[in-house]
Amino acid sequence: MDKFYLTTAIDYVNGAPHIGHAYEKILTDIIARHFSQRTDNMYFLTGTDEHGIKIQKTAAAKGITPKELCDANAQKFKDAWKALDINYNRFIRTTDEDHKKIVQKIFKKLVENGDIYKHSYQGLYCSGCECFLNEKDLTEDGLCPDHLKKPEVVSEENYFFKLTKYKDAIIKHIKENPDFIVPAFRANEVLNQLEDIQDISVSRAKSNVQWGIDVLDDPEQSIYVWIDALSNYITALGYDDENPSEMFKTYWPADVQVIGKDILKFHSIYWPAILLALGLPLPKHIYAHGWITIDESKMSKSLGNVISPTAVLEAFNLEHPDAFRYYMATSAPCGKDGNYSDDDFKEKVNAHLANSMGNLLNRTLSMLVKYFDGEVKEEFFVNAEAERIKGSYALLKQALGKIKVVENHFNHFEIAEAAQEIISIVDAANKYVTDNAPWTLAKEEKMTECGEVLTTVLNVMCIISALIYPYCPNIAANMAKQLSFDITKKLDDITECEIKAGKLITKEEIHPVFLRVDSELADKSTKK
Residues near ligand ME8 (CB under 6 A): 9-12, 20-21, 23-24, 49, 229-230, 259-260, 262-263, 291-292, 299
CB of 48 to ligand ME8, least distance (A): 8
Give helix 473-483 / helix 447-468 axis angle, nearest 10°: 150
Q: Which is nearer to ligand ME8, 182 or 292 (CB)?
A: 292
Q: Does residue 432 contact residue 398 with C-beta atoms inside 8 Å? A: no
Strands (E) across 30-136 are located at 42-49, 90-93, 116-126, 131-133
Sequence-ordered alpha helix ranges (H) in 391-446: 392-411, 415-436, 438-443
Mark whether 336 is an active-site residue.
no
Residue nearest to ligand ME8 (CB): 260
Q: Which is nearer to ligand ME8, 158 or 331 (CB)?
A: 331
Residue 361 CA to residue 211 CA, distance in Å, equals: 55
- 67, 82, 147, 443: the catalytic one is 147
- 18, 34, 267, 320: the catalytic one is 18
Mark whether 301 is an active-site residue.
yes
Q: Which is nearer to ligand ME8, 49 or 498 (CB)?
A: 49
C-alpha pair distances (Å), 90 with each of 8, 10, 45, 96: 11, 12, 5, 12
Residue 300: count other Cβ atoms within 10 Å of its Cβ.
11
- Give me the numbers of helices (H) and strands (E) for the chain, helices first please: 21, 18
Angle at 250 (CA atoms; ends 249, 251), nearest 5 degrees? 100
CA dihedral 289, 291, 292, 295 (to 10 degrees): -140
CB of 24 to ligand ME8, least distance (A): 5
- 34, 78, 99, 129: the catalytic one is 129
- 62, 119, 175, 298: the catalytic one is 298
CB of 128 to ligand ME8, least distance (A): 9
Q: Which is nearer to ligand ME8, 12 or 471 (CB)?
A: 12
End-to-end alpha-carbon separation of the chain, Å? 44
CB of 526 to ligand ME8, least distance (A): 15
Q: Which is nearer to ligand ME8, 71 or 262 (CB)?
A: 262
CB of 454 to ligand ME8, least distance (A): 43
Residue 509 CA to residue 424 CA, distance in Å, equals: 27
CA nearest neighbour of 224 among 123, 90, 73: 123
Mark whether 126 is an active-site residue.
yes
Q: Coil, strand, or helix at residue 188?
A: helix
CB of 74 to ligand ME8, least distance (A): 12
Mark whether 99 is an active-site residue.
no
Phi, psi of 503 (to 5 degrees): -70, 120
Q: Which is nearer to ligand ME8, 71 or 379 (CB)?
A: 71
Residue 295 CA to residue 143 CA, distance in Å, equals: 26
For residue 218, the surrounding DSSP H or E stretch is: strand 218-223
Q: For residue 384, which amino acid is it? A: A
- Produce one character per residue of 180-204: b if its CB has 16 or more CB atoms within 10 Å, e if not: bbbbeebbeebbeebeebebbbbbb
C-alpha pair distances (Å), 170 with each of 4, 69, 156, 273, 304: 24, 37, 29, 7, 40
CB of 33 to ligand ME8, least distance (A): 20
Q: Would the CA dihedral through 439, 440, 446, 448 be positive or negative?
A: negative
CB of 91 to ligand ME8, least distance (A): 14
Strands (E) across 224-323 are located at 256-260, 286-289, 292-294
- 126, 450, 462, 472: the catalytic one is 126
Q: Which is nearer to ligand ME8, 341 or 356 (CB)?
A: 341
C-alpha pair distances (Å), 55 with each of 62, 65, 381: 11, 9, 63
Mark whether 144 is an active-site residue.
yes
Q: Which is nearer to ligand ME8, 24 or 156 (CB)?
A: 24
Residue 227's contacts (CB-CB under 8 Å, 6 or more residues apart) are 103, 106, 107, 161, 202, 274
Mark whether 298 is an active-site residue.
yes
CB of 257 to ligand ME8, least distance (A): 9
Phi, psi of 499 (to 5 degrees): -80, 135
Q: Which is nearer to ligand ME8, 11 or 214 (CB)?
A: 11
- Active site (catalytic) residues: 18, 21, 126, 129, 144, 147, 298, 301
